[in-house]
Amino acid sequence: MESTGRLLIEIEDFLKSKTKLRPRTISDAVKNMKHLQTLSTLLEPLDIKKITGKWILKNIISEDKYSINTKRLYVYSISKFYLFLKFTNRASYNPAEEVELPAQEKRLPRPLSKLSIQQIFDNLRELREEVVISLLYYCGLRASELTHLRLRDFDFTEKIINVRHGKGDKSRWVPFPEKLAGMLTRYFRVYEIKDRIFLSKHTGSPMNYSGLISIIWEIEKRSGVVFTPHVLRHSFATHMVEGGADISSVQNMLGHSDIKQTTIYVKVAKGRVMADYKKVDLFNSMNKPIDKETVLV
């Protein structure tokens, strides 16, 4: 028997050193393991023989109180836990491999309206905030892509950014607006940027996800608009499609490997058009409704 608490520290080190998982993915996996521990899933002290494929089916997959996505996250975390146990010869098999995961829930993203986006911009107080929000919204960058940006990634001649740290370590080129060039140039000069674009104000080290979220929270308080970096990315994609951008171009800008990931924004855009059409209600706003008897056929 071993202490799960100590093992969780070991597994976090293992995932950081032996896998290519992103820091946030590792953090979420370990957090889920701790939660599972409190639910007597990963027992204290740990009894690895207790966890089997049948046990996962009964206590997680068949449990109605968990959403489909939560079930998937829990099984994913157990899988990584046992990957570590196998690597350190504490277990001979991975019970998560015996389980067929339920299909992932598909939820339409909820983009912000252009009015809300304008409200955010109207409540920015400093140049760094303006650059952060502009790159997230006008370029559709992921949070991790933003925090990893370097000076060499910007091409001011072509007005494009080389996003080198995309999902799956894929790189792509993303355009930025002509009018953003002046702001970026001023930012690089004022903040004396030599390499990494965003640094922590307190330590001078590269800004991480927590530092980015701290900036977002401050803007939320002033603007009254609740959002995340990913919501701005959703908003960018939806507004591009609504504006008539070709779906394949949006796919390339977002860095989607499969165009099916991008077509969801077509559905969102159509939904917004229908909602706006019904809201205006031209038919009932007319002073004189159509008189069927006077219409020539």
- Give 190-255 as a DSSP string: HTT-SSBS-B-TTT-SBP-HHHHHHHHHHHHHHH-----HHHHHHHHHHHHHHTT--HHHHHHHHT
Parallel/antiparallel/unpaired status of strands 160-163 and 154-155:
antiparallel
The closest of 58, 30, 42 to 1, measured between CA atoms, is: 42
CATH number given to 4-98: 1.10.150
Is 70 exceeded by the pLDDT of residue 111?
yes
Q: What are the residue numbers of the active site?
A: 142, 167, 230, 233, 256, 265
**CA gap 179, 183 in Å, rounded:** 7
What is the residue extent of each domain of the chain? 4-98, 114-280
Nearest 10 degrees: Cα torsion 120, 134, 109, 59: -100
Tokens of 40: 């007597």
Percentage of residues in the chain having pLDDT higher than 70? 82
pLDDT of residue 295: 45
- pLDDT tens, 191-212? 999 999 999 887 888 898 888 9
Most confident by average pLDDT, 36-40, 86-90, 147-151, 253-257: 147-151
**CA gap 185, 207 in Å, rounded:** 20
pLDDT of residue 9: 87
pLDDT of residue 297: 47
CATH number given to 114-280: 1.10.443.10
Mean pLDDT along residues 75-91:
88
